[in-house]
Amino acid sequence: MSFVFYDTETTGTDTTFDQILQFAAIRTDTDLNEIERFEIRCRLMPHIVPSPGAMRVTGVSVAQLLDPQLPSHYEMMRAIHTKLASWSPAIFIGHNSMSFDEHLLRQALYQTLHPVYLTNTNGNCRSDSLRMVQAVSYFAPNTLSVPIDDRGRPSFKLDRLAPANGFADHDAHDAMGDVLAMIHVCRLIMERADGHWSSFLRFAQKAAVDAFLQEEEFVTLADFYYGKPYSWFVAPLGLNPENGAELLAFDLANDPSELSCLDDAALSARLARSPKPVRGIRMNAAPIIQSFDETPPHIRLGKPDEMTSRQRAAALKANPALSQRFLQAYLSMREPVEPSPHLEQQIYGGFTGNADLSALERFHAAPWAARPDILPNLGDARLRALGQRLIYIEAPEVLSAADRARFDVALARRVMAEEGSVPWLTIPKAIIDTQDMLSVSDGPEKELLAGLYAYLRAQADSYSALVA
């Protein structure tokens, strides 16, 4: 199976409401030799307000955002979907992709009516080079040179990490530059810590994670919070009935027999208190796990000894009713999630059925003039609404004058909404942020921000009449 390393540059850091502006990917063989590369940029969508902070960091100007020579966002996503599908099956790897890039990619696929779970279905699986770097820094600390940031903490950002490990001329604000840096770092891990590299590849597959957790009496689970490593010896309790990709596990630093004596209210209260006795393992998100035998001595310090851990794991396995009680108590603490009225936040509100998938294939293949007639065939109301917005953005001329006017007003109200009334960045808020940055900037940065400020003011003036 080949690898696909990818990265994005975006309008901001909100993985739900911001937009991909640049996408880059390199497909490699199993030895990380490049086979093919792909790169594409697009122009800004009309309902997206670019973050002034992101534009200042990346140096993207208004002229670049609106460049008519660039493809539209929909055209870019058609090209990305076609390319990534042609490279499948593969292991998809990004740097911090599990928390950032993949969510943006999924949103972009969803909003352009493509299958959302491209990177972990149809034989594809995924990993994250950030988690790889963090894991080897913890389990095999001499593998890489990890730089220290301005606050005295280890920095796992590519713009610091790659140069510290011999990667020259890293362009940190270019998607392809980050992809090349990522491959360099992964090659070092593969060459210097082959056992860990093999584990990453193995546990990129949900079925392999599931099998490993079922085979072992208990495992070492590690994770990072604010750049700091934590680890636990855990034994499986069972699958989360609300999410089949999550296994719930018991932290063996706790004695299950002591917790079993608590009544339901006291047990729930204990499970809510840190350190938490029950932890979730996302089996389809490349968890950092190891067997006890593979766990280095420095990771074992401060944890129960092997005999105690095995006894506690065996007690849980011999008492399924107790495991189920822990599992139910843990689930009872979770707050119910209220459905969102916003399309973007409805992305995980259901899977697309086969009938809708067939209709969407016809939608993408049809001329724009024929696409409005296909939308009523979609059973999923989310997809119908996204399709209508897509037609308005890409081919407004095929809509009636009344429909265009309705969308014009809706767009104006969206981007001009009062601060705090909506979860996305609005023009009034972006204007304030840009003014603040202009007051402390100079040189090329000030020129870039001045251009953005002029653009935002012009947009505000044009939309104000529609929302008056």
The CA distance from 147 to 204, in Å, is: 27
**CA-to-CA distance for 42 and 71, rounded, in angstroms?**
5
pLDDT of 72 reads 98
Give the lowest-confidence range in 11-20, 72-81, 241-250. 241-250
Going along 257-339, which residue ranges are E strands? 278-282, 288-291
The rounded mean pLDDT for the chain is 95
Find, among 139, 142, 25, the residue nearest to 85 by Cα.
25
Q: What is the pLDDT of residues 52-69, one digit of tens each?
A: 999 999 999 999 999 999
Pair type for strands 2-10 and 90-94: parallel
What pLDDT score was predicted for residue 336?
A: 81
Domains with residue ranges and CATH for the chain: 2-197 (3.30.420.10), 205-332 (3.30.1520.20), 343-467 (no CATH)
DSSP state of 148: B
pLDDT confidence band for 157 (50 / 70 / 90): very high
* Alpha-carbon span 427 to 51, nearest angstrom: 10
pLDDT band at residue 140 under the 50/70/90 scheme: very high
pLDDT, position 388: 98
Residue 197's CB: how many other CB atoms inside 10 A?
A: 19
* pLDDT > 90 fraction of the chain, expressed in percent and rounded: 90
pLDDT for residue 281: 96
Q: Distance between CA 278 and CA 236 in Å, rounded?
A: 9
Least confident of 87-101, 261-275, 309-323: 261-275
Predicted confidence (pLDDT) at residue 420 exceeds the cutoff of 90 = no
Q: Please tell me the predicted confidence (pLDDT) of residue 172.
A: 74
Mean pLDDT for 287-309 is 95
- Residues for the chain: how many in total? 468
What confidence category does residue 338 fall into, taking pLDDT thresholds of 50, 70 and 90?
A: confident
Q: Is 178 helix (H, G, I), strand (E, B) or coil?
A: helix
Q: For the chain, first and last CA: distance in Å?
A: 57
User: CB within 8 A of 80, min separation 6: which ones?
Assistant: 23, 38, 40, 105, 108
